[in-house]
Amino acid sequence: MFKNLQLRQKFTILLTIILVMGLSISGLVLSSVLTQNAKREVTSTALMLMETMISVREYTDSQITPELKEKLATSFAPQSVPAYSAREVFENLRKKGDYRDFFYKEATLNPTNIRDKADAFETTIVDKFKSQPKVKEISDFRSLPGGDIFYVARPLSVSKETCLQCHSTPDVAPKSMLTRYGTANGFNWKLNEIIGAQIVFVPASKVIQKAHQSSLGITLIVSLIFFVTILLVNIFLNREVVRPLKRITRVAEEVSTGHMDVEFEELSNDEIGNLAKAFKRMKLSLDMAMRRLKRPPGNTHEGTGG
């Protein structure tokens, strides 16, 4: 079937096959690249949010807690706990449209507030930070029954001695805190010890959606470029190859039927032009041969002696 098609149709099919194969291969590569870019973009946002929460913790520890010191002697105020302040600020931030899909947790192995207790998966992250102090950041996907999520984690350590005022031993902790949370959890921390991890979660669909949106846009642009290329190639092929070949074919057919008054036009110096020149030389040779054939034979007269 392919051999019965016209030259322009063959080129169109060939270019279309190249387009499909090119889009398929580039689509796979592009999807991987854009997914990595989306992960980096989400990671960058998550790290910015973590730095913001660190600032909130430091503000709470340096300015809020000292102001509530006298009150803490008689009644416990959770607003004085840096982890509590960070969590509450983040929840307020999530009310903004850009961050509603982000979730924040200070997953701690031995927290005062059970809300911050690390689950089995988060515990493995904390243990990795503890066993590999040089690892400062972990990001990957986590599978959950409700769907995959993407997470970014950083180690959380006891960086200030003021933290030990509440988390060293129960006998030095504020009585009001013991009344609220008891003495079973949140103690025996040590300075510079990694006690948990800052983790920001975001649904994996958000990462994949970002990648797909970028991939779709680029694919449409590439497809448009290929379509325009196929159109331009067809126009060029029709003008520079198909039409000249049709003219040469038509003239050759007329010459084959004995019409020697037609001429092969030399419109270019490329292969098509060389073909026209070859046909022109062939026509001249054929014309000369036909003239010789049409020439009447000469008469030879022998003289007789007398």
Confidence band for 240, pLDDT divided at 50, 70 and 90? confident
The torsion angle over the Cα atoms of residues 49, 136, 107 and 39, rounded to 10 degrees, is 50
User: pLDDT by residue (tens digit) across 95-121?
Assistant: 877 788 889 999 999 998 888 999 999
Residues 235 and 184 occupy one common structural domain: no
Residues 239 and 198 in one domain: no
Across 182-186, 210-214, 249-253, the highest mean pLDDT is recorded for 182-186
Does residue 108 form part of some domain?
yes
Q: Which amino acid is at 59?
A: Y
For the ranges 165-174, 256-265, 291-300, the maximum mean pLDDT occurs at 165-174
Strongest mean pLDDT among 106-110, 180-184, 294-298: 106-110
Mean pLDDT, all residues of the chain? 81
Task: Decide if 170 is inside a domain.
Answer: yes
41/70 same-domain check: yes
Last residue of a domain, one of 166, 183, 204: 204
Distance CA 11, CA 21 (A): 15
- Are 135 and 226 in a shared domain? no
Answer whether residue 126 shows pLDDT above 50: yes
Q: 188 and 262 in one domain?
A: no
pLDDT, tens only, 197-235: 999 998 877 777 766 666 777 777 877 887 888 888 888
- Considering the domain boundaries, does residue 305 fall inside one? no
167 and 273 belong to one structural domain? no
Residue 264 is predicted with a pLDDT of 66
Would you say the pTM of this structure is higher than 0.75? Answer: no
pLDDT reading at 177 higher than 80: yes
Q: What is the percent of the chain where pLDDT is above 70?
A: 89
37: Cα separation from own chain's centroid: 6
Any domain includes 70:
yes
Question: Do 71 and 165 reside in the same domain of the chain?
Answer: yes
**pLDDT given at position 3:** 64
Residues 223 and 124 grouped into a single domain: no
Domain span at 231? 215-293
Together in a domain, 23 and 152: yes
pLDDT higher at 166 or 296: 166
Structural domain count of the chain: 2
Mark whether 38 and 167 lie in a shared domain: yes
Does 253 share its domain with 120? no
Instruction: Check: CB of residue 114 under 8 Å from CB of residue 185.
Output: yes
Q: Is residue 304 part of a domain?
A: no
The dihedral formed by the CA atoms of 283, 284, 286 and 287, expressed in degrees to the nearest 10:
110
Q: Choose the weakest-confidence range: 46-55, 132-141, 157-166.
A: 157-166
